[in-house]
Amino acid sequence: TPAGDLATQILHALDKNSPLLSSAAFPTIPSTEVKGALDRLASRDMVKYETIDREEAILEPEGEQIAANGSHEARVFEALRTAVEGLTIQELETAIGDKNVVKIGQGRAFREKWISKTPDGKFKAAKESIKDTTKEQMQTIQSTKSYPDAKMLADLKKRKLVRTQKIISFNIQKGEKFALKIPEVATDLTADMIASGSWKSATFKGYNFKALGADQHPGALHPLNKVRSELRQIFFEMGFQEMPTDKFVESGFWNFDALFVPQQHPARDMQDTFYVSDPKEADMPRGEDSSDTADYKTYWDNVKDVHQDGKYGSIGYRYPWSGEESKKLVLRTHTTAISASMLYKLAQQKGPDGRPPPARYFSIDRVFRNETVDATHLAEFHQVEGVIADYDLTLGGLMEFMDIFFGKMGITDLKYKCAYNPYTEPSMEIFSYHKGLGKLVEIGNSGMFRAEMLESMGLPKDMRVFGWGLSLERPTMIKYGISNIRELLGHKVDLNFMRNSPAVRLDKE
């Protein structure tokens, strides 16, 4: 039934009978529908209503059977009343035609002392007549849908004869503007209404001051941004300086060669790296402005030498190093390209002792890899990278630093595994036990940058540089319980997820 029809029906019913109980007038219509129609009428002051919640008692199938045929015990009694000699159990079952009724009924009839046993073990009636209270109760409940007292109801429920059901009904009364037809309501006062004077008799729709406003959608921070700002805070707390990572395109020189990645390395394959086709080629490495007076040419030559012929005590890779290869433009595959140029700049600095001062750098930004996209891989993601340069750093000291750093992210019990990076020696993958997954998961990659890389830059031999990297996506996915990376980044992201995702606090120690 459309609501309009029901509303009109209500008005007509109310015209004959006010107040009106909806459950009596419209017993088959769901209460939500009735309420919808009533609200519509009430908003026009045509009706007033109050909601009445009550419990209704309903007979179970067995209760229905008792209301019709009598209780089991009464049926047993009735069958025996006329059999003067008494009946055997088999005879009783034949007479009643229902073994179950006999089984339950004879027990109850004995307890009521309605029947007894003859010396030869037959059943016989022990009274002239009985009163079948259960049947009466069932009939009362059937006709009134209510029940005389709570104790009796509980008993009948336990016997599975009756169940109760919550009923919502409405006590409806005529309102101030009661009429049999719902008047058209005007929502706006128009020029036509003023001109014709029809506004005088028009009914205007009242303002609904309780209506909720339309949802506002202000900008929302992406979960990656939320986790990023927490991580930046950790780096700043630990005295790190943020590296300028505002360029996605790098030359092969900074992305690979400066990091002692040989030109034949599989990572430099087109299958792994995106090459830029226009322009194809970078300038020679140089500073961004005239304030950078470093000798990039010498550095370039050092890098060539260390790859091709070996230098600084290294035998090198011994292959013909190509300047062309080094100038190819790529979408950076890691932010370590930026770390390399920052370390080169550090090599130019002079501290109070005339040597490059210790430094701590970090960055969190986007990198690109030519990967097949699946649930855990995207062609672009974000890298969190840290670099510590200091004199006489030891690996043990740096492992302790990692404990502190990851501890601030709520990641504890680190384990290290030997790994290989062309630019670090030793290299260590960092693992942590993931309680949810019940296993060790890799959370980062790290290592001591190689002398081939650092000494080419002109950094002193005793300055050690430690670096590590992790993806921003992994801790974010763990934090927000996301298992498919495409729900986090890219065109399949649900904007409501962005809007509704809560602020993040990394559980700091």
Smaller CB separation from ligand PHE, 440 or 493: 440
Q: Residue 255: name the closest of 236, 232, 242, 272 by CA.
A: 272
**Smallest gap from residue 503 Cβ to ligand PHE (A):** 28
Of 373-392, binders to ligand PHE (CB under 6 A) are 385
For the bound state, the minimum distance from the C-beta of residue 258 to ligand PHE, rounded and expressed in Å, comes to 12
With CB under 6 A as the contact rule, which of the stretches 45-53, 195-203, 262-270, 441-449 interacts with ligand PHE?
441-449
Spatial contact of 203 and 185, defined as CB atoms under 8 Å apart? yes
Could you give the count of Cα atoms lying within 13 Å of 27 in the half-sphere of its Cβ?
3
The region of 1-9, 29-37, 312-320, 461-469 touching ligand PHE under the rule CB under 6 A is 461-469
- Say how far apart CA 425 and CA 428 lie, in whole Å: 9
Q: Does 245 bind ligand PHE (CB under 6 A)?
A: no
Minimum CB–partner distance for residue 385 and ligand PHE (Å):
6
Site for ligand PHE in 126-165 (CB under 6 A): none
Per rule CB under 6 A, is residue 475 in the interface with ligand PHE? no
Tell me the β-bridge partners of 384: 364, 470
* Region of 312-320, 388-396, 442-450, 483-491 interacting with ligand PHE (CB under 6 A): 442-450
CB of 454 to ligand PHE, least distance (A): 12
Q: From 453, 455, 459, 487, select the one nearest 473 (Cα to Cα).
A: 487
Residue of the chain from 37, 59, 468, 473 that contacts ligand PHE (CB under 6 A): 468
User: Is position 467 an interface residue for ligand PHE (rule: CB under 6 A)?
Assistant: yes
Contact region for ligand PHE (CB under 6 A) — 36-44, 398-406, 452-460, 466-474?
A: 466-474
Among candidates 152, 176, 180, which has minimal Cα distance to 164?
A: 152
Q: Are 467 and 447 spatial neighbours (Cβ–Cβ below 8 Å)?
A: yes
Q: Which stretch binds ligand PHE (CB under 6 A): 20-28, 244-252, 315-323, 444-452?
A: 444-452
CA–CA gap between residue 5 and residue 11 (Å, rounded): 10
Q: Which of residues 416-435 bind ligand PHE (CB under 6 A)?
A: 421, 424
d(CA 417, CA 317): 25
Q: What minimum distance in Å lies between the beta carbon of 373 and ligand PHE?
A: 18
Residue that the structure tokens 């010498």 belong to: 298
CA 37-40-42 angle, 5° bins: 105
Out of 446, 456, 476, 501, the only residue in the binding site for ligand PHE (CB under 6 A) is 446
Does position 445 interact with ligand PHE (CB under 6 A)? The reply is: yes
Instruction: Report DSSP state, residue 132.
Output: -
**Shortest distance, CB of residue 338 to ligand PHE, whole angstroms?**
11
User: DSSP string covering 388-412, please?
Assistant: EEEET--HHHHHHHHHHHHHTTT--
Instruction: Summarize the chain as % helix, strand, coil (round to 5).
Output: 40, 20, 40
2: left (phi over 0), alpha (psi -120 to 50) or beta: beta
How far apart are alpha carbons 428 and 447 in whole angstroms? 6
Give the SS3 label for residue 422.
Answer: coil
Binding mask 324-343 for ligand PHE (x = CB under 6 A): ----------x-x-------
Considering beta carbons, is residue 147 or 362 the nearer one to ligand PHE?
362
Instruction: Name the DSSP class of 321.
Output: -
Instruction: Give 78 or 455: the residue with its C-beta nearer to ligand PHE.
Output: 455
Kindly state whether residue 23 participates in binding ligand PHE, applying the rule CB under 6 A: no
Residues that bind ligand PHE (CB under 6 A): 334, 336, 385, 421, 424, 445-447, 467-469
